[in-house]
Amino acid sequence: MVGGQDTLTEGAQRSSLTVRPLPGALGAEIGGVDLSTPLDPQTVQSIREIWLQYLVVFFRDQTLGARELAAFARLFGTPMPYPMVTGVPEEPHVIEVLKREDETVNFGGLWHTDTAYLERPPMASLLYALEVPQVGGDTLFANGYQAFDALSPGMQAMLEPLRAVNRSDGAAVSATRAPRSGSLQDRTFQAVHPVVRTHPETGRKVLYVNGAHSVRFVGMTEDESEPLLRWLFAHQSQAPFTARFRWAAGSLAFWDNRAALHYPLNDYHGYRRRMLRIQIEGDRPS
């Protein structure tokens, strides 16, 4: 610890980055970097090491547009389009996530991992705040490593051979898109993924189902699958596995979509919240 801030990785110690872990099971704020300017390879590597350790990292007081956000994302991988919404004109991989003052439904407002209904879900997602409400609008994150590790050996052994069907048109997640139906691409996506995946960079096992997209286990009906899935959804979002981030304009969240879930809270009716979002290509879960 240096000056009350964690400098856990060798790369972070060599650079000017500061690392302040969030209270909770994951997440850290990184300071000492301007993301609108070119970053040297050592700084990029340090950020990646911190990100892999904490699953989600946050940057405050940044000044980014869609192009700058995409340029930062490209330092860590190849941006991919979001399949449900058209990108902004200046950068097609970046979408706007907007809740207006007169709306009561927030986009994606439930626990989920992003686009698990794709054969190759994104490695990471980045969300940048342009406008935030005076109160509310925080995002919760959950640690998929800890959710798996906390299961009994018997439950782990039962889940590891299972595969889950993930769909883009689940009733719960579809309800969060209702006010924006005119802007959504009219297509249903489906993919089958392991219930327990192995993270390709850390080698750790992750509980990889989510309440937005996982609808049943392969070889079982939805009715047969529902009791266990409901239990797993509740298990993985328990408070001991979570952390909470309070947004401000100019804040950026960058999370590992392979090991972290997130939940944007919908507690700011009457206020405007406008964000920019981009995601980075991932591999096929295994």
Q: How far apart are CA 103 and CA 105, in angstroms?
A: 6
Residue 20 catalytic? no
Instruction: Exactly one of 48, 114, 177, 213 is catalytic; name it.
Output: 114
How far, in Å, are 148, 158, 179 from residue 153 at the CA level? 10, 9, 43
Q: Which residues face 58 on adjacent strands?
A: 29, 253
Question: Do 242 and 25 touch, CB atoms closer than 8 A?
Answer: yes
Q: Which residues face 217 on adjacent strands?
A: 164
Residue 193 catalytic? no
253: tokens are 């969240």
Question: Do 117 and 191 touch, CB atoms closer than 8 A?
Answer: yes
How far, in Å, are 100, 174, 177, 182 from residue 103 at the CA level? 5, 16, 11, 15
Instruction: Exactly one of 48, 193, 258, 262 is catalytic; name it.
Output: 262
Instruction: Exactly one of 93, 213, 258, 277 is catalytic; name it.
Output: 277
Residue 216 catalytic? no
> Which SS3 state, helix, strand or coil, does residue 223 take?
helix
**DSSP letters for 157-219:** HHHTT-EEEEES--HHHHHTTGGGGGGB-----EEEEESEEE-TTT--EEE---TTTEEEETT
Instruction: Exactly one of 93, 112, 213, 258 is catalytic; name it.
Output: 112
Selection from 261, 201, 183, 260 nearest residue 45 by Cα = 201
- Residues with a known catalytic role: 112, 114, 262, 277
